Structure 1
């Protein structure tokens, strides 16, 4: 390289033989001149130090993945990918304005799949230019397959694969292994503990080396405050290819061992987070099978400083690992994750995703002959459908109850009865609701844990309230709230306080209802449950209405309606609509109340909330009977 630079600088005569002599000759040729040296893709600082000009007026522009900026006179200028708009502009210049503007959506997708990298965009434009009649959409279809993407963005010796292969070849063996391990992750973003679990070693040091090599980049922090890093989308494709290029049983064994270490680490963290209260009120607890201590205790403590936040921060990875565990036959680990994570994080509107995961566990467990785990997954399906399709959820709960009873799975039987009781409440079957809740409470009086008793008491409190026995319900709820508080179960306590407030309103204890709502809202906000916070806002609207402040009630109900819709709980939003109609009516605004109640009747009918629907019809009939010129209410 020095020889080439000397010739370019006009050096005449035989070339000096030693590095020092050539360096001195180059510096001599540059003396008194203003020269910019452009050195592309330097391996490291050592490779180019002898080439850097040492005279005033000269400079060097060096591109590199691994240059140290610690030396004097070297200034670092990080380069990121192009922005989406810049990428479209470049493609337009390379391909022509008409072709890009004819297919704007396909153009945006093309630049996204090219990772907004100039080289990828140039290769894509070159290929498209040779096929002027081909649509961008057809090219997008080819790029959309991760297995073919690098092939589509490479031509002969030019393209991303050549660039990535060279970068990989000059890595140390340790960095190559770390890079390959990242290819086993389902998403390009990750935290250091994930890479550490895959490697079975120090994930932070490995990540630091990959950052220094510009292979990954910092991407801020996650919801739990943990630093997150990101592998460029196209580098993630390359890492995945490298991870799956096995040369024999030894490589395949290493990959399987890495996947198992990550899965075991996730199960350990999820189980610990669940045990520390990161759960909803009526989860079916996971099996108490011991979990391998694959992470250091101090790492577990740091990561789980806020258990529910950790679960929410890592949800996408956890869901992907459930599917992977089922595919690899590790369905007990997948079942543990569904029981600890999905039940905790599931919100209305999530049903399609949750059902997919529960079905995967159910099928895999059933195929392995593990009937109890298969029925536990069916219970999870029923829970997922509770807000989406109450009749279907009731049918599945009923099947689960029969299966758990037949299998002698008493704890699961209790939870199944509780779930069945809630379904009957939604469907307006008070007698059946009370029967199942009493049976669950009878079971809980045996040798079950306080958590299990709290679940049964919540179901019984709800059933007693629905049956008009609100004073008895209030007593039951107070006991359940004490249990949840003593166990440190924030979300369970908040859910109990919701029911407590409802019963307190029914018996005229409005001060107790308000205090319960305030405490519950604080707890829901602490655990990050937007759905719970929305429902307690609705309960606070009910308290305000009973307390003689209908304007406050109407405002709170409107807010609850928006929040519940955002959570995907359409039945809840319709209930909030009914409450707002009641408040408007009490506030002397019948015309507004009529419009709201009409919409509430339609929504409650569509979502199958029979009890609330009947009340909405009755109120609407009354309002329209009192409003001149109004058409009669439709049941």
Structure 2
């Protein structure tokens, strides 16, 4: 471009003002290279902002300024205007909502150059509004880039994305380089782009990038400009890049966007209908915009009508489409880019019933090893089709899950889907059984085999973690097995899990689990299984749901069945469950009588393990009913029976630890402190072998005993240790975390014991004074200790004593 009247006039004015190009650049903020290109006619007419900066720096009077403006307008009228159309920013969204934090990050990054051109990557799953954010940022950052803005769609989701060479050619043309001046070699073009952007303060938006290989040659080196890249991929191979991952909108932002698009239909909608629509849209900007557009273009529709349509999961994606815009179409672009094996994993993950899953699920569904499953999950995550949930788990966005289910229905036969779903369900239930058996008294060795997600050598802690993490997956699998009439399978799961249930009473699922196993067992020919699962169900409704009367009814139903069969052992077990339910219902007379009957029945049946457990339960009941002297004799009786009876070794170790710890506590309750201290000393090594919550309880008793005997330093040491072991620990049967307040109160002072009783269970809060003037403060501490206990309900499982 030669003979540019504007450029020649600009040079004349600059020289008349006695300014060099460098001086004008410093004064105006326009790069020296850009000024040089204008004067030589090598660039197009400047934008209004650039022109204003130049005329201001030159100090032009109104006539000279008007003359320059006229020259610019004349060149534009002659077809020499601004950037070429191919480099113009697309039209922005007028009702843009949210993303304030991301916009602040981009503005801050724009000002952080320091020599190297800042590059930001906006990434995330389809439909989150990555392009909209990039354009909004460009609009807000115009003042920082007087040399202009350039936009290029790299078509990264097309079957054939734009090549780097073609992208370089388009960027160079948009920056004013004539076609004949663009190098043929791709590397030379990249050098040309770096040379131009080094001298210009311009913003480049590279939208919809395919991969690192496409983007890397387009990035400047040093310079005062900025590049914003958008991509569904993380582009982990690019270094020195600010990565901004987008998430769905918040509930408030979703409502704001829906209001902006839907208009009148939004204003007339009640809040619950609005909440339903935003939730069913998954707070995804694309889905919300489509939903709002459908409402705005259909005057007869209401928000409730749309919510009803979206509530049908099988039709939700079809209802989230308007014109050529659709949520499913956006997802399909990413799905098409997956490898064949990743497509299989993606669609089969729709079989997972819960919200999140791990690589083990993918391995089972796709019938591959764990390593290959992880590779496929990485591919899905890279394309934004999966999201990380913690360290080793993943989840779908709700709408992407529906798309995966749609692909599964379309691409696999009903028979294949049934086989895959059954394979996943069997694996979940097999692993749940293996995990549950890790809590059985004789579970000393490895499990039956090495399962994905739960190795054969899994510890009880690992088994507990798996059961908790997978609760929303194995429980639906159990429901499916029950619905399919696989009665023995359901009963086997219930039998295995009852060991774990007794150690996690507050999870809220056990009444359903044992309700299913009870119903299944009732359909089996072996009536003894029905008795067993009736008892388990009775335990669950009493302990977990606090429906103690119903728990008694179920236990007595099991007792009558056992009586009909002449099975004394099962009679003893059923009566034990009835006694426990009466005990939790605070019916002391019935509970003690039932325990004693169960004790006689277990003795008659020769059930040594059961006999010890029943006697332990009787002793604990006596504690709760305020009869500590009788409880002391029963705990001592338990210890004698352990020496006299052939009890399972693992169960015997647990019973000995529990009995000694509880005996020490009871002796302290009746102020027999030397004996309490002696028993606690014996209990401590046993408790330490069973986990921190048991050891913490014994340290609490030791602290109380030492305090009462005047050994202040020893008391403080044990109470401090109790706090360390019990504070926040929740692996015990519902009580460990609740011990920390008592220990803290005990540690505050060590002289005055305060007894707090709640629902018949003795809870101890030691409060005292260092000296007389602190007595008022200590009373407040005591009241706080009691307040900590108020409203709590500590449940004994029959396996362990409460300290």
Q: Same fold (TM over 0.5)?
A: yes
Q: 1:268 is matched with which residue?
A: 434
Task: Give me the whole-angstrom Cα distance separating, in 2, the residues matched to 1:497 and 1:332.
Answer: 39
Shift of 1:84: 2.6
Select the residue among 477, 483, 502 that pairs with 1:321.
477
Q: 2:59 is matched with which residue?
A: none
* Structure 1 residues 49 and 199, CA gap change in structure 2 (3 angstroms): same
Q: 1:402 is matched with which residue?
A: 560
Answer yes or no: is 1:143 the counterpart of 2:310. yes
* Structure 1 residues 488 and 342, CA gap change in structure 2 (3 angstroms): closer
Task: Give me the whole-angstrom Cα distance separating, in 2, the residues matched to 1:418 and 1:99.
Answer: 60
Shift of 1:396: 0.7
Select the residue among 91, 104, 118 that pairs with 2:271.
104
Shift of 1:379: 1.7
Task: Give me the whole-angstrom Cα distance separating, in 1, the residues matched to 2:360 and 2:656.
Answer: 32
Shift of 1:239: 2.7
Q: 2:393 is matched with which residue?
A: 228
Whether the 8 Å CA contact 1:52–1:60 is kept in 2: the answer is yes
Select the residue among 616, 629, 637 that pairs with 1:476.
637
Answer yes or no: is 1:416 the counterpart of 2:581. no
Shift of 1:171: 0.8
Q: 1:433 is matched with which residue?
A: 594
The within-5 A match list for 1:483-562 is 487=650, 500=663, 504=667, 509=672, 515=680, 518-519=697-698, 525=729, 527-531=731-735, 534=738, 541=756, 555-562=784-791
* Structure 1 residues 477 and 136, CA gap change in structure 2 (3 angstroms): farther
Answer yes or no: is 1:215 the counterpart of 2:385. yes
Query: Which has the larger displacement, 457-466 or 508-517?
Result: 508-517
Task: Give me the whole-angstrom Cα distance separating, in 1, the residues matched to 2:553 and 2:454.
Answer: 45
Structure 1 or 2: more helix by fraction: 1
Secondary structure (helix, strand or coil) at the match of 1:541 reads strand
Identify unmatched segments of 5+ residues in structure 2.
Answer: 1-161, 684-695, 701-721, 743-753, 769-777, 796-803
Whether the 8 Å CA contact 1:441–1:457 is kept in 2: the answer is no
Task: Give me the whole-angstrom Cα distance separating, in 2, the residues matched to 1:168 and 1:303.
Answer: 39
* Structure 1 residues 559 and 491, CA gap change in structure 2 (3 angstroms): farther
Q: 1:241 is matched with which residue?
A: 406
Q: 2:422 is matched with which residue?
A: 256
The within-5 A match list for 1:68-107 is 68-71=235-238, 76-96=243-263, 99=266, 103-107=270-274
Select the residue among 158, 162, 173 that pairs with 2:340.
173
Shift of 1:361: 2.7
Shift of 1:374: 3.8
Secondary structure (helix, strand or coil) at the match of 2:790 reads helix
* Structure 1 residues 141 and 436, CA gap change in structure 2 (3 angstroms): farther
Equivalent pairs, count: 547
Answer yes or no: is 1:360 the counterpart of 2:516. yes
Whether the 8 Å CA contact 1:477–1:497 is kept in 2: the answer is no
Task: Give me the whole-angstrom Cα distance separating, in 1, the residues matched to 2:409 and 2:328.
Answer: 16
Shift of 1:323: 1.7
Task: Give me the whole-angstrom Cα distance separating, in 1, the residues matched to 2:204 and 2:272.
Answer: 41
Query: Which is greater in Rg?
Result: 2
Shift of 1:168: 1.6
* Structure 1 residues 249 and 518, CA gap change in structure 2 (3 angstroms): closer
1:287-324 superposed Cα distances (whole Å, 9 cap, x missing partner):
x9x97525269845567545444444443334333223
Shift of 1:143: 2.5
Task: Give me the whole-angstrom Cα distance separating, in 2, the residues matched to 1:307 and 1:423.
Answer: 28
Shift of 1:389: 2.3
Task: Give me the whole-angstrom Cα distance separating, in 1, the residues matched to 2:527 and 2:333.
Answer: 51
Query: Which has the larger displacement, 98-107 or 315-324?
Result: 98-107
Shift of 1:348: 6.9
* Structure 1 residues 424 and 30, CA gap change in structure 2 (3 angstroms): closer
Whether the 8 Å CA contact 1:113–1:144 is kept in 2: the answer is yes
1:518-542 superposed Cα distances (whole Å, 9 cap, x missing partner):
3297687462443466599899635
Whether the 8 Å CA contact 1:190–1:229 is kept in 2: the answer is yes
Whether the 8 Å CA contact 2:425–2:477 is kept in 1: the answer is no
* Structure 1 residues 257 and 316, CA gap change in structure 2 (3 angstroms): closer
* Structure 1 residues 301 and 505, CA gap change in structure 2 (3 angstroms): same
Secondary structure (helix, strand or coil) at the match of 1:562 reads coil
1:382-426 superposed Cα distances (whole Å, 9 cap, x missing partner):
112224222221111011123245457666444322112223443
* Structure 1 residues 126 and 460, CA gap change in structure 2 (3 angstroms): same
Task: Give me the whole-angstrom Cα distance separating, in 1, the residues matched to 2:192 and 2:764.
Answer: 90
Query: Which has the larger displacement, 357-366 or 56-65?
Result: 56-65
* Structure 1 residues 193 and 250, CA gap change in structure 2 (3 angstroms): closer
